[in-house]
Amino acid sequence: MENQKIAKIFSETSDILEILGDSRFKIRAYRQASQTIETYPYHLRDIYEDDPKKLDDIPGIGKALMGKIIEIFETGDCRKHVDLVRKIKPGVLDILRLRGIGPKKTKLFLDELGIDSVVKLKDAAKRGLLRELPGMGEKSEDDVLLAIESYGRLTARMPMYQALSIAEGIIDYLKVNKKVKKATYAGSLRRRLETIGDIDILACGSPKIIGDFCDMPGVAHVEAKGDTKATVILESGIQVDLRVVPEESFGAALYYFTGSKAHNIATRKIAQKKGMKINEYGVFKGKKSVAGKTEDEIFKKIGLPYIIPEMREDTGEIEFMKKNPRFKPLEESDIQGDLHSHTDWSDGKSSLAEMAEAAQARGYKYLAITDHSQSVKVAHGMEVPRLEKQLLEIDKLNKGFKGFRLLKGCEVDILKDGSLDMPDSILEKLDIVVASVHTYFQLPEKEQTTRIIKAIQNPFVTLLAHPTGKLTGMREAYDVDLLKVMRAAKKAQVAIELNCNPFRLDLDTKHLRAARDMGVMVSLGTDSHSASHLEFIEYGIAMAHRGWLQPENILNCQKCIDFIRKNH
């Protein structure tokens, strides 16, 4: 929870500094620090309590920012941030969070029209005032209205990775309490939905847990407090519900509160046909409890194989598991390598050697290096000579590896007309070619679909990355007929990526199921921009579970990597 709080403080500080016209160096420093902390795999609080000076070792965190982090831990806030927030109206920050509206446009709206809230921005757009501003136009004005509409939908729920970080922090807090025997999270978070409305926590132990829960750090308001349950609102704005249940009913409560509601109704009907009933306290035959301590007991008692939480949506999983009781969901040990990563040759933070070391530490057989191509200037994309130089460096490193290999690749930009921004003469030298859309998100569906299909028909393309372009909680997918794209991908023997980066989680459950049914190979890629990001694979595995994928459906579960090179 504290990592997210610090990241938000630094992000807002950066944006406000830009609105106020402060130095680019300061703006960049706060922004990079926010991005680093947002996805940092360890709790900063633990590092601080062990040795505050070690905070300086985190990439992008210098002594000045280290001091700000320590200040937040010791005082609960950052004076610099508080002072900056006082200089602008709260509504200005809301404008900053709209899709496609950064600090520059926010400053333009504020300076030219005095717009300091989303309400005022919407009113100005509807009155046609924005189109007259420098760099704007009628289309830009329409985009602002779409962004406002989208923002209302996107901010109603929290991205899964943020909710997971918060929930794990709460579980860690509870588990050090001697009054707590067990604690875990349930609800949509346990089912790994892409976005979460609120967090459900289950615990068993002393009723006094309730009071400790309500008093924990980060609680802004206690909504309700009873003998066995409580509801709090955190400083982040998310609601957390705690239920304390008897140990003998823990499995039943976990199953019940994990849901989904539709899945629970379906299994209750199965139990009823067998003369039993299921509720949050267990499985009952008459008044006698016959199961409830574990979820396994519940499934066995009603005659079903165990169904993993991610599949419990009443979308056919019960019938599927009856027919396929030996179904083997994807496990981390099945993953042979990562097929989408970046280094400091483009916009990544780690070197080739550091990425290789981290991949080998995970037990991988290979790691694809897919730095950006030349069109993505903002990401320091590589032109042909620099890419060729990188390939030579990869060859040198590979000579020193045993049982591991860096795959030579590139994330190649799909241009507006569907051509790629790298010539075939360089693509044929690569082990893997990742085709991606990074521009022209607003094209009509037919044009966008045609563009992407043309790109994946290039004989050197291995996979299509982040196929819909969405950013979880920030940007919706562009308009594309993805089923048509997948049919073309199967014909061209091109894989479709399940982007594991928590900011993307692209593909969604529906299209993963479709890919599975169509026989389209799915590739897991973390889109890593530092060595620590390789851990994002866990989010991809969760999404693969929701899509009912097995190892045979996953490109990078294959033991042999020769399949990656196509016959040229």
Q: Are strands 195-196 and 158-159 parallel, antiparallel or unpaired?
A: antiparallel
Same domain, 400 and 295: no
Indicate which CATH number applies to the domain containing 219: 3.30.460.10
pLDDT in tens, 355-383: 999 999 999 999 999 999 988 776 788 99
Tens digits of residue pLDDT in 493-548: 999 999 999 889 999 999 999 999 999 999 999 999 889 899 999 999 999 999 99
Say which CATH number the domain at 64 has: 1.10.150.110
* Claim to verify: residue 436 and residue 337 sit in the same structural domain: yes
Which CATH number is 500's domain given? 3.20.20.140
Verify that 498 and 548 share a domain, yes or no. Answer: yes
Q: Beta strands 158-159 and 522-525: pairing type? A: unpaired
Residues 196 and 343 in one domain: no
**180-185/198-205 β-pairing:** antiparallel
CA distances, 495 to each of 155, 315, 482, 507, 527 (Å): 32, 25, 13, 12, 15
- Residue 505 vs residues 461, 482, 493, 527: alpha-carbon distances, Å: 22, 15, 23, 11
3 state SS of 497: strand
pLDDT of residue 118: 82
| 540 shares a domain with 464 | yes
Q: Determine phi and psi for 423, rounding to 5 degrees.
A: -70, 155
Asked if 427 and 551 sit in the same domain, the reply is: yes
Output the pLDDT for position 1: 58
Task: Tell me which of 217, 244, 271 is where a domain ends.
Answer: 244
Helix (H) / strand (E) element for 170: namely helix 160-175
Over residues 311-340, mean pLDDT? 94
Tell me, what CATH number does 298's domain have? 3.30.210.10
Same domain as 122, residue 180: no
The predicted-structure confidence for 270-301, as pLDDT tens digits, reads as follows 999 999 999 999 999 999 999 999 999 999 99
- The CA distance from 240 to 238, in Å, is 7
Which of 154, 171, 189 terminates a domain? The answer is 154
Using the Cα atoms of residue 253, residue 258, residue 261 and residue 267 in order, give the sign of their dihedral.
negative
Are 347 and 459 within one domain? yes
**Cβ atoms within 10 Å of 448's Cβ, excluding its own:** 24
**Pair of tokens at residue 269:** 């009907």
Q: What is the pTM of this model?
A: 0.76
C-alpha dihedral sign at 557, 519, 509, 254 = negative
What are the residues whose beta carbons fall under 8 Å from the beta carbon of 172, sequence distance 6 or more? none
105/315 Cα distance (integer angstroms): 43
Assess whether 302 and 410 both reside in one domain.
no
Amino acid letter, 565: R
The tens digit of pLDDT for each residue in 467-491 reads: 999 887 667 788 999 999 999 999 9
Q: Are residues 464 and 489 in the same domain?
A: yes
- Is residue 334 within 8 A of residue 557, CB to CB? The reply is yes
Taking 70 as the threshold, does the pLDDT of residue 154 lie above it? no
DSSP for 261-324?
A: HHHHHHHHHHHHHTT-EEETTEEEETTEEEE-SSHHHHHHHTT-----GGG-SSSSHHHHHHH-
Domain boundary among 104, 132, 154: 154
Q: In which element (H, E) is residue 220 found?
A: strand 219-225
Structural domain harbouring 309: 250-323
- Tokens 């372009």 correspond to 469
Do 435 and 525 contact (CB within 8 A), yes or no? no
Question: For 54-111, how does the pLDDT look when each residue is reduced to its tens digit (9 = 90+)?
Answer: 888 787 788 888 889 998 888 877 889 888 887 877 678 778 777 778 788 888 898 8
Alpha-carbon distance of 486 to 492, in angstroms, equals 10
The one-letter code for the residue type at 297 is E
Residue 567's pLDDT is 37
Residue pair 257/244 in contact (Cβ under 8 Å)? The answer is no
The answer to whether the beta carbons of residues 441 and 435 sit under 8 Å apart is no
**Structural domain count, the chain:** 4
pLDDT confidence of residue 62: 83
Q: What letter does residue 535 receive in the DSSP assignment?
A: G
Phi-psi domain of 100 (left: phi exceeds 0; alpha: psi -120 through 50; beta: other): left
| pLDDT tens by residue, 166-223 | 999 999 999 988 899 999 999 999 999 998 989 999 999 998 899 999 999 888 888 8
188: nearest Cα among 88, 289, 263, 285: 263
Q: Three-state DSSP class for 188?
A: helix
Q: Same domain for 351 and 289? A: no
> What's the confidence (pLDDT) of residue 568?
36
Torsion of CA 395, 396, 402, 408, to 10 degrees: -30
Is residue 149 scored above 50 in pLDDT? yes
Do residues 294 and 345 share a domain? no
Q: What is the 3-state secondary structure (H, E, C) of 117-163?
A: CHHHHHHHHHCCCHHHCCCCCHHHHHHHHHHHHHHHHHCCCEEHHHH
